[in-house]
Chains A and B, each alone.
Chain A
Amino acid sequence: MRFAVLVFPGTWSDGDCQHVLRDRLGQQADRIWHREANLDGYDAVVVPGGFSYGDYLRCGAIARFSPVMGALQRHAQAGRPVFGSCNGFQILCEAGLLPGALLRNDSLQFRCQEQYVRVTRDDTGFSCASAAGDALMLPISHGEGNYHVDDDTLAELEAERRIVFRYADADGQVTPAANPNGSRANIAGVINAAGNVLGMMPHPERSSEALLGGEDGLRVWQSMIQWWG
């Protein structure tokens, strides 16, 4: 598959995502500078983590005006896959491709830690390499990952089974204690109604190699490759 890994000023997980996709999984993965207005020829787009534009104003708020975002919107509207992680999730929310907003962590502190998430369904292009109910260790590293939606949207997300990943303990139990940032309903990752755009706060690229502490993250990438490849 051909992956475009977007790079905004201040993005820093671009190289990490590229490393996993290209060097671990043998895919084509190109880093695409935010001024590029054309994503034709790419099967999938990854919007990686970082502090785009320093997260000044609001996380992801400035990045959504970058030239590449128009191409990203067209790519998404065409039904092709878009995966956003961390700051990438924030950008997708700011751009209206996903509902909700990411607020400051309820601890009011940055949190970098190992984190388990429960896979709630295995019939999406981001989770099909897992089984529903699996607990994946996907590290988190963010100061503003507290996912917020209003009651109506939450009900809609629940009804449409669009919450694909929830913060959980190592056994996959979704508990308040396992929620690292105060997100509503322990939401770690959501998908759009069409099922081709997913955003999550965790960093699957950080648990895609045993040497670095785990390989659970590979399942997210492998899901994309299996589903859309």
Chain B
Amino acid sequence: MPGDGPGARVADAAPVAVDDETLAQLALSRDEYRRARDHFGRDLTPVELGMLGALWSEHCGYKHSKPLFRHFPTKAPHVLTELGGENAGAIDIGDGWVVVMKVESHNHPSAIEPYEGAATGVGGIVRDIFAMGARPIALLDSLRFGPLDDPDAGPRNRRLLRGVVAGVGGYGNCLGIPNVGGEVRFGPHYSGNPLVNAMCVGIARRGSLIGATTGGPGHVLLLVGADTGRDGLHGATFASVELDERSAERRPAVQVGNPFLEKLLMEACVDLVQDHRDWIVGLQDFGAAGLTSSSVECAARGASGLEIDVDAVPRREAGMSAYDVMLSESQERMLVIAKPEHVEDVRAHFAYWDLDTTVVGTTTAGDRVRVYEAGAEIAAAPIGLLTDPPSYVPDARPDPEAAARAAFDPATLPDIADANAALLALLAAPNIADKRWVTQQYDQQVLTNTVLVPGSDAGVVRIKGSERAIAVCTDGAGRAVGLDPWAGAARSVCEAARNVACTGARPLAVTDCLNFGNPERPEIYYQLREAVRALGDACRALGTPVVSGNASLYNESSGVAVTPTPVVGMLGVLDDVSKVVRMGFRRPGDAIWLLGGELAQPAATLGGGEFLAEAHGRVAGPILVDLDAEAALVGLLVAAADRRLLRSAHDCSDGGLAVALAESAIAGGLGADCAAAAWEGRNDAALFGEAGARAVVSLDPGHAAALAALAAETGVVVTPLGTVAPDDPAGARLRLGDAIDVPLGEAAAAHREALPRALDG
């Protein structure tokens, strides 16, 4: 709590014994404090204590998640960074181009102050990208909210959605970075604790990136950008405790963004690294725990000590203590580590952009971070200790209630009577409905690279000066993870890979954001562990190493944990952008095929799906995943696109085949005539079952033999469904078997109007 923290009214230099309340504020346990104290050989000074608390928080220190990261595949010839080694992961996409990417959460701030929470979430992730010297070229956002029509929480959920969307747009639009994808999904367990995950993708020439390091002793620390205020004090700690009814009192822990300043910082930093890399040895953004974490993490990487003069740090207000300055999370600040002979060059460079720079310290040969105020040493903390928080392997225990729901057999439900009505209801279901109300508030095209806009399977962004393009998407099947953490998380990776592959891009790498509840509870830790294992298993099966990520734990509100939601950000590459494949049908008479399965499906494929949730009000049943089949389908989609065999391709996921077919028809404005398709068994499973590893494609009938041969080679079953209907805006229909026959216009209206109706009334 700003102004009331342990450092505010105590002499900052003198070691103090701490009471339990102070430890609770810092989210440190008594054991952890004891361990640090033993290492110091004395009580800690208030500033040392604050630095320790921030760096040992879950948010910075990953105490409960780091031991799990060994499950991730992290290495491949095209991966240029080590997981956690830099601000973001870097991937070589060929032709001398490198993509840098990361996804990060800003859940707790957004729950309290949605606009600023979401805005500064965007700001933070963008800084991670340009801190490496890469130019940010795309944003994505993965959002989760409670139900908009909930009788109690609905009004607040709507307010949160409006605020978050405005914040994501307000910041990203001002920066001039296109928002090219993401998801907005809903579920009852996000009501008190929405999820706001922002992903940024940047690009650089190979060999031009810079690290977040001090590069050894003898270098100069320059603070660039905003003055330091009290905002965001203890944000890292705030992110590492559960939300409760008193959380609104933590509003001072939410930062306020200034995207204009960030735009200047972005241009100046990218130019600095591209044009004057020899002036500097490292670049780092100020994120959680502010000056403390940015400087200490750089020093740990650079194997140097640090001397910081807090008096030099420009402040936004009078009366700030050294403690405040070291822990402030004021936005739009960067740490430049410069060679001493180029300090004035660096300062002049930033002055061109009207940006202030201040020398705040130097790097030393020691192994401690020493902080000075008025000439007195007020902290002398061992860097090795600060960056080596304890790690825990808590007890894990499956939640018997979730296991019971997962054991539910959907075959015990009666089959569907009116498939047309069910399809229209599904198209209007919040998770499936058109998200244009959201995405039209984001600039999607600035930088003039956007080939596929939000609403597509993946956003596709071309690389100017090259034939290549990248495809990016996010996916997180939270509801499925809640039923079966391993299978649900694996499904999230598979869906992301499928989405990217549907555009014709080859999946290359993953960034992930782990949104879970309190890991100190055995059921939650079980979810986390199994989900991380699954991310690892699925990423190995698909050949997509995990290059960066973020863990957001303690997502709980008044004792209720959020639906466990690992969000997967997937990067793919198209070697030739002219081969990009779109989701909408494009030409009447084209053949429509289902890739990856038969029409008939067992009732079990309804498990955890949209249809069970919407039509039966059940979140239950098994979650089915076949990693080999997913890898084969991805291979087929990429190979078929490369040979230009596909006119459209769309992932078959939420709502199953019927919804995928409808979405391709709606996107293309052309009906689907698949009335001759027939299947044995249940209609609900065939139409709305969510068997994985499937996609709906359309193709020139002349390519049928070539596609069939390619599918046989890759071991993927293909099922012809019918043809794209003649162009007839007024009379177009959607027909599938003898169960579905609806006017396309009616389907399109259901899909398009649901979200505006829920939000604007």
Count of A interface residues, CB-CB < 8 Å: 30
A:119-160 near B, CB below 8 Å: 139, 141, 143
Q: Please determine whether B446 and A110 come into contact, CB atoms closer than 8 angstroms.
A: no
Known: A54-B259, A211-B577, A212-B450. A112 touches B174 (CB 8 A): no
Contact mask for chain A residues 8-22; partner B; CB cutoff 8 A; 1 contact, 0 none: 011011011001100
Q: Please determine whether A16 and B173 come into contact, CB atoms closer than 8 angstroms.
A: no
Q: Please determine whether A51 and B260 come into contact, CB atoms closer than 8 angstroms.
A: yes
Cβ distance B577 to chain A, nearest Cβ, rounded Å: 7
B462 in the interface (beta carbon within 8 A): yes
Q: Please determine whether A9 and B354 come into contact, CB atoms closer than 8 angstroms.
A: yes
Size bin of chain B's contact surface? 20 to 34
Q: Is the interface of A mostly helix, strand, loop or mixed?
A: mixed
Q: Please determine whether B443 and A112 come into contact, CB atoms closer than 8 angstroms.
A: yes
Cβ distance A196 to chain B, nearest Cβ, rounded Å: 26
B70 in the interface (beta carbon within 8 A): no
For B442, the chain A residues whose CB sits under 8 A away are 110, 112
Contact mask for chain B residues 420-443; partner A; CB cutoff 8 A; 1 contact, 0 none: 000000000000000000011111
Q: Please determine whether B448 and A113 come into contact, CB atoms closer than 8 angstroms.
A: no
Q: Please determine whether A111 and B440 come into contact, CB atoms closer than 8 angstroms.
A: yes
Cβ distance A64 to chain B, nearest Cβ, rounded Å: 16
Q: Please determine whether A212 and B173 come into contact, CB atoms closer than 8 angstroms.
A: no
Count chain B CB atoms within 10 A of each CB in A112, A205, A212 and give the residue with the most. Answer: A112
Q: Please determine whether A143 and B462 come into contact, CB atoms closer than 8 angstroms.
A: no
Q: Please determine whether B176 and A50 come into contact, CB atoms closer than 8 angstroms.
A: yes
Contact mask for chain B residues 220-239; partner A; CB cutoff 8 A; 1 contact, 0 none: 00000000000000000000
Cβ distance A78 to chain B, nearest Cβ, rounded Å: 29
Q: Please determine whether B173 and A211 come into contact, CB atoms closer than 8 angstroms.
A: no
Q: Please determine whether A51 and B446 come into contact, CB atoms closer than 8 angstroms.
A: no
Q: Please determine whether B260 and A19 come into contact, CB atoms closer than 8 angstroms.
A: no
A53 in the interface (beta carbon within 8 A): yes
Contact mask for chain A residues 39-74; partner B; CB cutoff 8 A; 1 contact, 0 none: 000000000011101111000000000000000000
Q: Please determine whether B263 and A111 come into contact, CB atoms closer than 8 angstroms.
A: no
For B448, give its contact among A53, A112, A143, A206 (CB under 8 Å): A206
A209 in the interface (beta carbon within 8 A): yes
B247 in the interface (beta carbon within 8 A): no
B679 in the interface (beta carbon within 8 A): no
Q: Please determine whether A143 and B354 come into contact, CB atoms closer than 8 angstroms.
A: no
Q: CA–CA, A34 to B261, complex, Å?
A: 16
A28 in the interface (beta carbon within 8 A): no
Known: A51-B174, A143-B173. A112 touches B445 (CB 8 A): yes
Q: Please determine whether B174 and A55 come into contact, CB atoms closer than 8 angstroms.
A: yes
For A110, give its contact among B169, B259, B445, B464 (CB under 8 Å): B169
For B577, the chain A residues whose CB sits under 8 A away are 211
B:603-628 near A, CB below 8 Å: none
A77 in the interface (beta carbon within 8 A): no
B451 in the interface (beta carbon within 8 A): yes
Cβ distance B161 to chain A, nearest Cβ, rounded Å: 13
For A51, give its contact among B166, B173, B441, B450 (CB under 8 Å): B173
For B174, the chain A residues whose CB sits under 8 A away are 10, 51, 54-55
Q: CA–CA, A208 to B445, complex, Å?
A: 12
Q: CA–CA, A116 to B649, complex, Å?
A: 28
Count chain A CB atoms within 10 A of each CB in B260, B443, B449, B450 and give the residue with the most. Answer: B443
A226 in the interface (beta carbon within 8 A): no
Q: Please determine whether A211 and B462 come into contact, CB atoms closer than 8 angstroms.
A: yes
Known: A54-B260, A112-B443. A209 touches B354 (CB 8 A): no
For B439, the chain A residues whose CB sits under 8 A away are 112
For B392, the chain A residues whose CB sits under 8 A away are none
Q: CA–CA, A71 to B10, complex, Å?
A: 57
Cβ distance A25 to chain B, nearest Cβ, rounded Å: 14
Known: A113-B440, A143-B173, A212-B451. A51 touches B259 (CB 8 A): yes
For B354, the chain A residues whose CB sits under 8 A away are 9
A175 in the interface (beta carbon within 8 A): no
B264 in the interface (beta carbon within 8 A): yes
Q: CA–CA, A209 to B464, complex, Å?
A: 12
Cβ distance A45 to chain B, nearest Cβ, rounded Å: 20
For A208, the chain B residues whose CB sits under 8 A away are 448
Q: Which residue of B lies closest to A109 (CB)?
A: B441
Q: Please determine whether B446 and A12 come into contact, CB atoms closer than 8 angstroms.
A: yes
B40 in the interface (beta carbon within 8 A): no
For B175, the chain A residues whose CB sits under 8 A away are 12
For B445, the chain A residues whose CB sits under 8 A away are 112, 139, 141, 203, 206, 212
For A139, the chain B residues whose CB sits under 8 A away are 445
Q: Please determine whether A12 and B176 come into contact, CB atoms closer than 8 angstroms.
A: yes
Known: A110-B169, A112-B441. A15 touches B258 (CB 8 A): no
For A50, the chain B residues whose CB sits under 8 A away are 176
Q: Which residue of A lies closest to B578 (CB)?
A: A211
Q: CA–CA, A211 to B578, complex, Å?
A: 8
Q: Which residue of A lies closest to B176 (CB)?
A: A12
Q: CA–CA, A175 to B610, complex, Å?
A: 39
For A203, the chain B residues whose CB sits under 8 A away are 445
Q: CA–CA, A50 to B172, complex, Å?
A: 11
Known: A16-B447, A16-B448. A9 touches B353 (CB 8 A): yes
Cβ distance B654 to chain A, nearest Cβ, rounded Å: 25
Q: Which residue of B lies closest to A139 (CB)?
A: B445
Q: Please determine whether A110 and B441 come into contact, CB atoms closer than 8 angstroms.
A: yes
Cβ distance B461 to chain A, nearest Cβ, rounded Å: 10
For A51, the chain B residues whose CB sits under 8 A away are 173-174, 176, 259-260, 263
For A205, the chain B residues whose CB sits under 8 A away are 448
Q: Please determine whether A111 and B446 come into contact, CB atoms closer than 8 angstroms.
A: no
For A9, the chain B residues whose CB sits under 8 A away are 260, 263-264, 353-354
Q: CA–CA, A89 to B128, complex, Å?
A: 33
Q: Please determine whether B464 and A19 come into contact, CB atoms closer than 8 angstroms.
A: yes
Q: Please determine whether A211 and B441 come into contact, CB atoms closer than 8 angstroms.
A: no
B191 in the interface (beta carbon within 8 A): no
For B173, the chain A residues whose CB sits under 8 A away are 51, 110, 112, 141, 143
Contact mask for chain B residues 253-284; partner A; CB cutoff 8 A; 1 contact, 0 none: 00000111101100000000000000000000
Q: CA–CA, A12 to B258, complex, Å?
A: 16
Cβ distance A137 to chain B, nearest Cβ, rounded Å: 12
Q: CA–CA, A49 to B354, complex, Å?
A: 20
Q: Please determine whether B258 and A54 come into contact, CB atoms closer than 8 angstroms.
A: yes
For B294, the chain A residues whose CB sits under 8 A away are none
B444 in the interface (beta carbon within 8 A): yes
For A113, the chain B residues whose CB sits under 8 A away are 440
Q: CA–CA, A212 to B261, complex, Å?
A: 30
Known: A51-B173, A211-B462, A211-B577. A10 touches B444 (CB 8 A): no
Q: CA–CA, A216 to B683, complex, Å?
A: 46
Cβ distance A57 to chain B, nearest Cβ, rounded Å: 11
Q: CA–CA, A177 to B264, complex, Å?
A: 38
For A53, the chain B residues whose CB sits under 8 A away are 260
For B447, the chain A residues whose CB sits under 8 A away are 12, 15-16
For A110, the chain B residues whose CB sits under 8 A away are 166, 169-170, 173, 440-443
Q: CA–CA, A208 to B261, complex, Å?
A: 30
A:53-103 near B, CB below 8 Å: 53-56
Cβ distance A12 to chain B, nearest Cβ, rounded Å: 3
Q: Please determine whether A12 and B263 come into contact, CB atoms closer than 8 angstroms.
A: yes
Cβ distance A112 to chain B, nearest Cβ, rounded Å: 5
Q: CA–CA, A54 to B451, complex, Å?
A: 27
Contact mask for chain B residues 162-184; partner A; CB cutoff 8 A; 1 contact, 0 none: 00001001100111100000000
16 A-B pairs whose Cβ atoms sit less than 8 Å apart in the complex: A9-B264, A10-B263, A12-B446, A13-B176, A15-B447, A19-B448, A49-B446, A51-B259, A54-B258, A54-B260, A110-B169, A111-B441, A112-B445, A141-B443, A206-B448, A209-B448
Closest 6 CB pairs of A and B: A54-B260, A12-B176, A16-B448, A51-B174, A110-B441, A141-B443
Q: Which residues of B contact A (CB under 8 A)?
A: 166, 169-170, 173-176, 258-261, 263-264, 353-354, 439-451, 462, 464, 577-578
Besides A51-B173, A112-B440, A208-B448, 13 other A-B contacts (C-beta < 8 A): A12-B447, A13-B446, A51-B259, A54-B260, A54-B261, A55-B260, A110-B170, A110-B443, A111-B440, A112-B173, A112-B442, A203-B445, A212-B451
